[in-house]
């Protein structure tokens, strides 16, 4: 889970320099070591411990429910059926063969179970329900009762409030209230399953959907009671136990997640009140049926808004780069999820633009060892449609210095592009997002191997103008640091196809000769800063080469041939990974096909066995 400053502040915890964050499922990350006073740290340890127990108990609850479903399903599958011979014998008046041992055992146990569980009990309280239904309800109630009070911190501590003479009272009430909230949250899907006419539970158990109505009604009572106690508990904590008042409580009710909690409590209260038979009789069944469904949907959505951990979108910053061909947007954000392999892609949705569209983009960064701080970088060329809107949004986000939500799914793509051996990476335009993480990954592997050679790796990036280097400016600076230590194995070649070498220096001299003036000085200062940054990126460096072509593209067949000729014989075959416009893919396929030489491979020159992986781009 990501760090949640609002909830952490609720418990009196503020981030400290040099601290590390321990992720928790369904709760803000825990800061370690604890930055507070001893009493406060003991309380904070208890808060996160109680929450982890609550998540464990809810998981066990669903494991038990799943076990019951499996039991009923297996019972239906292994239930012995009367043989055809017995049925035929019965129809012809002959004596049927005696039951087998398994059939006798099964039928005797089933008959005994029906004898004790089929009769109805406690009519005055529950109505016409069987003992089996009452038994299931009793087991659920006992579990919830026991585990609502187990693993609760039963202490009462006072901690001073900084800057005041007040003391906040720390108890286990918050953990208890959260425990009930977690249980209510966990039981909501079960309540939905129990309410359906075409229920999957009927398919698994063989029971008619009407038999689940009793459990659905009483589960609603349980969820309402748990939600009410959860709300009252936190109201007492924030309005009475935490100090100073009324400052703490006023800030509490203004938080967005608390507002959603109030909405959820209002919705479940409406459902509970208007589900009593006497109320249904007065309002009519149609009113009950329609409002029950609509309000339940609002309740579930409000629960999501109140406790949205695990469902939150990433918050991204956008940076735009304009050139004569249009606009390119760099997207950066951190998101807590599992790792991905270099060269894989995610489908991104920008809810600010549309929740109905998503597009695949290759992530230009490597995953972090800690999932909670995995950093994503994407370079996106703005074309027509959704990406055009993204370019306009980037200008707005940059001007306001804010972020925009991003929803991602993935990763997708081949997981084995970064295998040992000779590797040539060729990128055209935004295709650098595929080539960069592969190059960086191999560079890190070479550093870990401490000089042991495992093949040559070269990155070729074909761009239209030298300013395009700014798309990946920070990353290029890092790659150069690896070049200085692995000159024999790593190299980078930049091809500029629509400028000559003097362009950037001409701009520098022109900008320095501009006359003074408010507007001109501001413009010159900005341009000098940009061109100065580009000058640093193109500065000569071991293993780093920039070639200015002016008005044509490089001969990719020659690029492939030069790399293969200089590849390490001991590293085996050569892998070529390309990403860029389709025309570039055509040239690259021809170049790779030309250099493959079966005769030389048969003589032991394995580097002439050249493989190609191509990824189409529109840039």
Same structural domain, 320 and 235? no
Please answer whether residues 502 and 546 qualify as being in contact, where contact means their C-beta atoms are separated by less than 8 angstroms: no
In a domain, 207, yes or no: yes
Return the residue matching tokens 């295709």: 431
In a domain, 10, yes or no: no
| Total number of domains constituting the chain | 3
**DSSP 3-state of 286:** helix
Residues with Cβ within 8 Å of residue 241, at least 6 apart in sequence: 168, 169, 170, 171, 173
Q: Could you read off the pLDDT of 397-453 as tens digits, one per residue?
A: 888 888 888 988 888 887 777 777 889 999 998 899 999 999 998 888 888 776 566
CA atoms of 420 and 579, how far apart (whole Å): 20
- For residues 532-546, one letter each, b for 16 or more C-beta atoms within 10 angstroms of the residue's C-beta and e for the rest, the string is eebeebbeebebbeb
365 to each of 1, 334, 397, 441, 479, how far by Cα in Å? Answer: 21, 11, 22, 10, 12
Pairing of strands 156-160, 167-171: antiparallel
**DSSP 3-state of 120:** strand
**DSSP 3-state of 197:** coil
Please answer whether residues 369 and 420 qualify as being in contact, where contact means their C-beta atoms are separated by less than 8 angstroms: no
Task: Give the count of beta carbons closer than 10 Å to the beta carbon of residue 616.
Answer: 12
Same structural domain, 495 and 546? yes
| Residue 39, strand partner residues | none
64-73, 145-154, 238-247, 560-569: which has the highest mean pLDDT?
145-154
Assess whether pLDDT exceeds 60 at residue 528. no
In a domain, 480, yes or no: yes
In a domain, 21, yes or no: no
Same structural domain, 43 and 158? yes
Tell me what pLDDT residue 521 has. 36
In a domain, 287, yes or no: no
User: In the chain, how long is the greatest CA-to-CA distance?
Assistant: 117
Q: Could you read off the pLDDT of 172-205 as tens digits, one per residue?
A: 898 999 999 999 999 999 998 888 777 777 777 7
Structure tokens at 246: 């009324």
Please answer whether residues 378 and 363 qualify as being in contact, where contact means their C-beta atoms are separated by less than 8 angstroms: yes
Same structural domain, 368 and 404? yes
Same structural domain, 456 and 331? no
Pairing of strands 457-463, 490-496: parallel
Edge-to-edge strand order for the sheet containing 490-496?
A: 544-548, 490-496, 457-463, 422-428, 574-581, 610-617
Task: Give the count of beta carbons closer than 10 Å to the beta carbon of residue 579.
Answer: 27
Same structural domain, 542 and 400? no
Same structural domain, 490 and 591? yes
Please answer whether residues 55 and 41 qualify as being in contact, where contact means their C-beta atoms are separated by less than 8 angstroms: no
Assess whether pLDDT exceeds 70 at residue 16. no
Please answer whether residues 507 and 466 qualify as being in contact, where contact means their C-beta atoms are separated by less than 8 angstroms: no
Assess whether pLDDT exceeds 60 at residue 514. no
In a domain, 296, yes or no: no
Q: Which of 254, 272, 301 is the last residue of a domain?
A: 254
Same structural domain, 348 and 427? no
Give Rg (Cα) of the chain.
Answer: 34
Pairing of strands 345-349, 422-428: unpaired
Backbone angles phi, psi at 189, to 5 degrees: -60, -35
Range(s) of the domain holding residue 181: 36-254
Same structural domain, 229 and 344? no
CATH of the domain at 470: 3.40.50.80
Return the residue matching tokens 């709300």: 231
Q: Please, how many CA atoms are within 13 Å of residue 397, restricted to the half-sphere of its CB?
A: 23
Tell me what pLDDT residue 508 has. 45
189-203, 347-361, 514-528: which has the highest mean pLDDT?
347-361
In a domain, 58, yes or no: yes
Same structural domain, 329 and 185? no
Same structural domain, 396 and 429? no
Please answer whether residues 144 and 158 qualify as being in contact, where contact means their C-beta atoms are separated by less than 8 angstroms: no
- Across the chain, mean pLDDT equals 81
Structure tokens at 132: 């089996």
CATH of the domain at 356: 2.40.30
Q: Which of 254, 276, 297 is the last residue of a domain?
A: 254
Tell me what pLDDT residue 38 has. 65
With a pLDDT cut of 70, the percent of the chain lying above it is: 83
Same structural domain, 429 and 471? yes
Nearest C-alpha neighbor of 591 from the set 617, 618, 565: 565
Q: Assign residue 343 a region: left if phi > 0, alpha if psi is -120 to 50, beta otherwise?
A: left
Task: Give the count of beta carbons closer than 10 Å to the beta carbon of residue 440.
Answer: 20
In a domain, 320, yes or no: yes
Q: Which of 412, 436, 453 is the last residue of a domain?
A: 412
């Amino acid at each position: 889970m990501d760090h949640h400053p609002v909830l952490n502040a609720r418990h009196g915890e503020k981030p400290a320099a040099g601290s590390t964050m321990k992720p928790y499922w369904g709760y803000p990350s825990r800061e370690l070591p604890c930055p507070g006073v001893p009493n406060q740290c003991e309380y904070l340890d208890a808060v996160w411990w109680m929450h982890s127990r609550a998540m464990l108990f809810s998981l066990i609850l669903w494991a038990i429910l799943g076990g019951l479903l499996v039991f009923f399903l297996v019972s239906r599958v292994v239930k012995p059926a009367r043989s055809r011979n017995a049925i035929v014998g019965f129809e012809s008046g002959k004596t049927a063969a005696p039951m087998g041992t398994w059939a006798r055992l099964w039928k005797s146990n089933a008959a005994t179970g029906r004898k004790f569980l089929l009769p109805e009990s406690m009519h005055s309280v529950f109505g016409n329900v069987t003992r089996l239904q009452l038994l299931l309800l009793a087991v659920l109630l006992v579990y919830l009762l026991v585990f609502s009070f187990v693993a609760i911190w039963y202490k009462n501590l006072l901690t001073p409030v900084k800057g005041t003479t007040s003391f906040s009272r720390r108890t286990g009430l918050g953990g208890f209230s959260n425990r009930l909230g977690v249980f209510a949250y966990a039981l909501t899907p079960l309540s939905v399953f129990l309410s359906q006419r075409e229920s999957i539970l009927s398919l698994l158990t063989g029971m008619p959907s009407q038999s689940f109505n009793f459990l659905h009604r009483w589960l609603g009572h349980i969820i309402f009671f748990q939600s009410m106690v959860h709300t009252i508990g936190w109201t007492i904590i924030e309005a009475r136990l935490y100090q100073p008042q009324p400052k703490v409580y006023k800030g509490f009710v203004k938080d967005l997640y608390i507002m959603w909690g109030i909405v959820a409590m209002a919705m479940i209260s409406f459902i509970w009140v208007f589900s009593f038979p006497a109320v249904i009789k007065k309002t009519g069944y149609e009113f009950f049926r329609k409002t029950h469904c609509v309000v339940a949907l609002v309740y579930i959505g409000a629960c999501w808004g109140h406790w949205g951990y695990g469902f939150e979108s990433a918050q991204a910053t956008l940076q735009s780069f304009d050139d004569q061909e249009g606009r390119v947007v760099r997207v950066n954000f951190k998101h807590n999820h599992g790792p991905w392999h270099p060269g894989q892609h995610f489908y991104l949705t920008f809810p600010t633009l549309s929740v109905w569209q998503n597009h695949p983009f290759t992530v230009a960064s490597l995953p972090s060892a800690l999932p909670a701080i995995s950093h994503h970088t994407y370079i996106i060329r703005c074309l027509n449609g959704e990406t055009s809107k993204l370019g306009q949004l980037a200008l707005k986000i940059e001007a306001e210095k804010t972020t925009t939500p991003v929803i991602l799914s993935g990763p997708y793509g081949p997981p084995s592009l970064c295998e040992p051996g000779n590797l040539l990476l060729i990128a055209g335009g935004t295709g650098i997002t595929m080539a960069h993480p592969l190059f960086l990954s191999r560079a890190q592997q070479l550093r870990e191997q401490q000089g042991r050679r495992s093949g040559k790796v070269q990155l070729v990036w074909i761009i239209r103008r030298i300013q395009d280097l700014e798309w990946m400016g920070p990353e290029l600076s890092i790659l150069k640091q690896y070049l200085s230590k692995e000159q024999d194995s790593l190299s980078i070649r930049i091809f500029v196809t629509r400028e000559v070498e003097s362009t950037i220096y001409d701009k520098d001299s022109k900008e320095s000769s501009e006359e003074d003036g408010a507007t001109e000085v501001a413009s010159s200062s900005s341009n000098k800063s940009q061109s100065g940054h580009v000058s640093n990126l193109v500065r000569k460096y071991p293993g780093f080469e920039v070639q200015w072509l002016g008005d044509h593209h490089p001969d990719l067949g020659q690029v492939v041939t030069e790399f293969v000729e200089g590849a390490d014989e001991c590293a085996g075959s050569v892998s070529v990974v390309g990403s860029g416009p389709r025309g570039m893919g055509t040239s690259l396929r021809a170049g790779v096909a030309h250099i493959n030489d079966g005769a030389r491979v048969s003589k032991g020159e394995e580097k002439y066995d050249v493989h190609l992986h191509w990824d189409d781009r529109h840039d």
